[in-house]
Chains A and B, each alone.
Chain A
């Protein structure tokens, strides 16, 4: 009976190596599509890099302009969308039709709600006049909205868009935490005991950021990467 249970969960069967089907799948991609896909991924990455570099050049600026937002976020968001498209070309369709899953709508809806919430908080509660801070803050609502858009759109492109945007949001969140920790460490180093009090509040801020910003993309990307999530989007 135990053996039967194990078989029913697929534990008793020998598993093929992960890399073999992936290699076969890659080999099955039309060479032209593969070239285009690689080009799109590289081009998207270059656009993302341009957005990051333009954003970093604003570190010394003391005033924020609309054209700065556009110069940073158009290449950033466009680059992520193009990377997702290129990645979709590189991985052929699994041949399975998408299966309905309510979590797709849950993560999409939560993502949209969080994106709107972040935008309201940034505009109303914590406006930042320094571009280096404001640009980084705005990555949270914009990347969340992109992730939610992918989740709601469905299909293979939606899956890739949600995964790429969710991962970018996680990277951005990690960077925010690093910036807070570095500043807290500076205060603790320079100001001693007084600085340690300020550093404690910074750690509370980090905990809040993990709860309020990082949990959603972690859960969303985890769902997308699971077998059920792949089937829900027909990724296979």
Chain B
């Protein structure tokens, strides 16, 4: 093959291959695929042991053995407020739920509830279904991103939470907690539009994570990640 032919082939294929490769690398690095959702019977089976704990009974072991991408977060709501929150980790969903059910009775918010409040309390379970990088973690994106995209549009607000793993223990900041703590509309990209706010406040999130994870080191060392949950 002549050098000119080779050059022509390269000119027509290399740029397209480069564009395609960069797009694919970044897309698959940040995409969290949609999960196979739990059906109604499985949801009931997941909630059942936790409901029994809130009602003051000894819980039966969970029977839903499914793979999970991280810990489960259990929140107990009473009179519109979150009174208890525990995370449970395990080899599968059943083990994680059992771990959370074991930790839940020791929560001060639960022990203080009266029998009437326990009956009215609601249990929320967030099962982590997938994780993705946050604030870097993919060199192609870090090197080539347009300014502001990674900061301003770091997570899908209301759908994704932020987590950190310290000493093999994972701490989660759930999607609703990000809204509650006003961490989602923290930046003002335009000085002319002061009412226009967007973007997560990663500095504050790191500080919160450092406190929750009881981490003694510097906040910059915390490697954050995004996660999506199935909430029931």
**What residues make up the interface of A, taking CB atoms closer than 8 Å to B?**
18-19, 59, 128, 130, 132-133, 174-175, 177-192
CA distance A41 to B177 in the complex (A): 58
- Chain B, 22-79, CB within 8 A of any chain A CB: 22-31
Answer whether A186 and B156 are a contact pair too, CB < 8 Å, given A174-B15, A174-B18, A178-B19: no
Report whether A190 and B155 are in contact in the complex, using a CB–CB cutoff of 8 Å. yes
Main secondary structure of the interface of A (DSSP, over half): helix
**Complex A-B, nearest 9 residue pairs according to Cβ-Cβ distance, in ascending order:** A189-B30, A189-B31, A185-B26, A130-B147, A185-B27, A183-B146, A182-B144, A185-B23, A183-B149
CA distance A186 to B30 in the complex (A): 6
Q: Judge whether B141 is part of the interface by a CB distance below 8 angstroms.
A: yes
Main secondary structure of the interface of B (DSSP, over half): helix
List the B side residues contacting A133 at CB < 8 Å: 146-147
CA distance A187 to B30 in the complex (A): 9
List the B side residues contacting A19 at CB < 8 Å: 3
Q: Judge whether B132 is part of the interface by a CB distance below 8 angstroms.
A: yes
Write the chain A residue with the least CB distance to B140.
A182
- Chain B, 5-25, CB within 8 A of any chain A CB: 15, 18-19, 22-25
List the A side residues contacting B28 at CB < 8 Å: 189
Report whether A186 and B22 are in contact in the complex, using a CB–CB cutoff of 8 Å. no
User: How big is the B interface, by class?
Assistant: 20 to 34
CA distance A189 to B141 in the complex (A): 12
Report whether B26 and A189 are in contact in the complex, using a CB–CB cutoff of 8 Å. yes
Report whether A180 and B132 are in contact in the complex, using a CB–CB cutoff of 8 Å. no
- Chain B, 120-155, CB within 8 A of any chain A CB: 132, 140-141, 144-150, 153-155
List the B side residues contacting A18 at CB < 8 Å: 2-4
Q: Which of A133, A186, A187 has the most CB of B within 10 A?
A: A186
Q: Which of A59, A178, A180, A191 contacts B156 (CB 8 A)?
A: A191
Report whether B149 and A187 are in contact in the complex, using a CB–CB cutoff of 8 Å. yes
Rounded to whole Å, the gap between the CB of B53 and the closest CB of chain A is 35
Answer whether A182 and B26 are a contact pair too, CB < 8 Å, given A18-B3, A18-B4: yes
Q: Which of B147, B154, B156 has the most CB of A within 10 A?
A: B147
Q: Which of B3, B22, B155, B226 contacts A181 (CB 8 A)?
A: B22
Rounded to whole Å, the gap between the CB of B230 and the closest CB of chain A is 15
Q: Which of B24, B28, B153, B160 has the most CB of A within 10 A?
A: B153
- Chain B, 192-223, CB within 8 A of any chain A CB: none
Report whether B150 and A186 are in contact in the complex, using a CB–CB cutoff of 8 Å. yes
CA distance A59 to B147 in the complex (A): 8
CA distance A72 to B18 in the complex (A): 26
Rounded to whole Å, the gap between the CB of A140 and the closest CB of chain B is 15
Q: Which of A128, A174, A186, A188 contacts B141 (CB 8 A)?
A: A186
Write the chain B residue with the least CB distance to A175.
B144
